[in-house]
């Protein structure tokens, strides 16, 4: 009877976690196995997760009422769940401690579990396999409901924002073409920071952890084709304080942050910034440094699982008179937005260009500039089956 009750509680807690975040998952056996792997048989932790059923963010007083636990027990249990990657517990700007239940992914349990330095244990490999199975189930769900999901995906805000690299491989500034027309946005819109240096200078609290995409994929036996460095997953402000407190990342200063960012740019990685609730008017919470080979956002799009949805303020512009058709830009472009035409000259697909500047960085002829202008890049995942 006790085992049965625990299994029911586990399924209920899994259901609560599955409905958090931008991507909601069905309560599958795989999802239950993930929560079982992370939480185990801890009945009190499962009870606290269930207390978030109707409200994902709560104060201590609210949790006392919704969980029927004492304040001391809540603080103890929430601290344990935070270290497991399931609760974000940081004070608000008013100094009130807020407890927020995190989703399975984007950004939640999956990211935090693989952001630490790996032991490469069997437990880590098993969890990586479970998440891979979960994402495969999500792909099937999306493909089965493709047509009905198109308007929902299209109406959603951009998941992340590209911050362009600014220097060529030999250290020269990439040419930027200023915007020539008025951008059609509200008067309240403030252009977010367009360089990683500006973002870093805004924050006193900066933390760096390991790239959860490259680490998780390495556990699955996929080594990065670009051999990209892994210690370059950044969090800022409140998020930095949280990741450092839970041991997911370590605090660093601005100088070290700039050095790591420069190393990421030299490796051809794409700077992708995240904002709370995808509100670009709010300060950045994190920056991922993504490679073409391992990035979950790119892989989920290419595999037919989720759309590519990105905000950017730049667009690559290729000068056909200078381009020699070397193909460097074709090789480096993360979204395969560049190809060589019949004349052997590089051409760019505007709809797929993230404006990351990586093509400009590695162009030996300085034939690629970045043109300013606010854009949203949205591409549905490939349809793998017909209705």
Span 75-117, pLDDT tens digits: 999 999 999 999 999 999 899 999 999 999 999 999 999 999 9
Same domain? 288 vs 213: yes
Terminal CA-CA length for the chain: 44
The last residue of one of the domains, among 46, 71, 101, is: 101
Taking residues 189-205, what's their average pLDDT? 91
- The answer to whether residues 94 and 176 belong to one domain is no
Confidence check: pLDDT of 306 > 90: yes
Instruction: Write out pLDDT tens, residues 84-93.
Output: 999 999 999 8
pLDDT digits (tens, 9 = 90+) for 369-379: 999 999 999 99
Q: What pLDDT score does 182 carry? A: 52
Helix 122-144 vs helix 146-155: angle between axes, to the nearest 10 degrees?
A: 100
Mean pLDDT of 122-145: 97
- Provide the domain count of the chain: 2
Q: How many separate helices (H) and strands (E) can be counted in the chain?
A: 15, 14
Residue 185 lies in a domain: yes
**pLDDT above 80 (res 184):** no
Q: Is the pLDDT of residue 185 over 70?
A: no
- Whether residue 329 has pLDDT greater than 90: yes
The strand ranges marked E within 107-172 are 160-163
CATH number, domain with residue 37: 1.10.10.10
188 & 272 share domain: yes
Domain-embedded: residue 10: yes
Give the mean pLDDT of the chain: 94
Task: State the residue range of the domain holding 51.
Answer: 2-101
pLDDT of residue 234: 98
Distance CA 80, CA 60 (A): 15
- DSSP character string of 85-122: TSEEEEE-TTS-EEEEE--SSSSSHHHHHTSSPP---H
**pLDDT given at position 146:** 96
| Res. 1 pLDDT band, cuts 50 70 90 | very low
For residue 189, what pLDDT band results from cuts at 50, 70 and 90?
Answer: low
Mark whether 87 and 163 lie in a shared domain: no
Confidence class for position 2, pLDDT limits 50, 70, 90: low
Inter-CA distances, 118 with 160, 169, 295, 299, 382, Å: 26, 31, 18, 22, 33
What is residue 376's predicted lDDT score, i.e. its pLDDT?
95
| Boundary (domain end) residue, out of 101, 130, 163 | 101
**Is 132 among the domain residues?**
no
Residue that terminates a domain, selected from 101, 135, 159: 101
220 and 319: one domain? yes
| Percent of the chain surpassing pLDDT 90 | 91
Given a cut of 80, whether residue 215 has pLDDT beyond it is yes
pLDDT digits (tens, 9 = 90+) for 231-277: 999 999 999 999 999 999 999 999 999 999 999 999 999 999 999 98
113 domain-assigned: no
Average pLDDT value for residue range 142-167:
95
**pLDDT over 80 at 181, yes or no:** no
Q: Is there a single domain that holds both residue 230 and residue 161?
A: yes
Is the CB of residue 78 less than 8 Å from the CB of residue 105?
no
Residues 175 and 42 in one domain: no
The residue count of the chain comes to: 387
Specify the pLDDT at position 190: 74
Q: Classify residue 118: in a domain, yes or no.
A: no
């Amino acid at each position: 009877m006790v085992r049965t009750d625990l299994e029911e509680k586990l399924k209920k807690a899994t259901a609560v976690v599955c409905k958090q975040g931008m991507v909601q998952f069905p309560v599958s056996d795989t999802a239950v196995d993930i929560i079982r792997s992370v939480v185990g048989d801890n009945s009190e932790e499962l009870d606290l997760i269930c207390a978030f059923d109707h409200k994902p963010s709560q104060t201590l007083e609210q949790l006392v009422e919704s969980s029927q636990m004492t304040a001391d027990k809540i603080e103890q249990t929430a601290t344990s769940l935070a270290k497991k990657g399931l609760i974000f517990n940081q004070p608000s700007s008013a100094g009130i401690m807020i407890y927020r239940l995190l989703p399975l992914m984007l950004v939640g349990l999956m990211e935090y579990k693989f952001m630490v330095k790996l032991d490469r244990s069997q437990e880590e490999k098993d969890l990586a396999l479970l998440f891979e199975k979960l994402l495969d189930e999500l792909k099937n769900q999306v493909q089965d409901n493709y047509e009905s999901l198109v308007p929902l995906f299209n109406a959603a805000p951009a998941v992340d924002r590209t911050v362009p690299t600014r220097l060529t491989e030999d250290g020269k500034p990439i040419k930027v073409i200023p915007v020539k027309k008025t951008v059609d946005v509200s008067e309240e819109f403030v252009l977010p920071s367009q360089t990683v240096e500006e973002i870093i200078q805004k924050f006193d609290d900066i933390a760096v952890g390991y790239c959860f995409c490259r680490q998780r994929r390495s556990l699955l036996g996929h080594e990065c084709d670009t051999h990209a460095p892994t210690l370059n997953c950044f969090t800022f402000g409140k998020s930095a304080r949280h990741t450092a407190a839970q041991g997911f990342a370590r605090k660093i200063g601005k100088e070290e942050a700039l050095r790591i960012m420069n190393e990421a740019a030299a490796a051809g990685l794409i700077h992708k910034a995240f904002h709370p609730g995808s509100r670009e008017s709010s300060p950045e919470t994190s920056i991922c440094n993504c490679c073409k080979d391992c990035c979950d956002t790119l892989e989920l799009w290419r595999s037919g699982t989720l759309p590519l949805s990105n905000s950017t303020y730049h667009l690559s512009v290729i000068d056909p008179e200078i381009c020699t058709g070397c193909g460097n830009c074709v090789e480096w472009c993360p979204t395969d937005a560049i190809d060589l035409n019949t004349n052997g000259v590089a051409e760019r697909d505007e709809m797929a260009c993230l404006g990351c500047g990586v093509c400009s960085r590695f162009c030996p002829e300085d034939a690629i500039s970045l043109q300013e202008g606010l854009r949203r890049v949205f591409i549905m995942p490939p349809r793998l089956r017909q209705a």
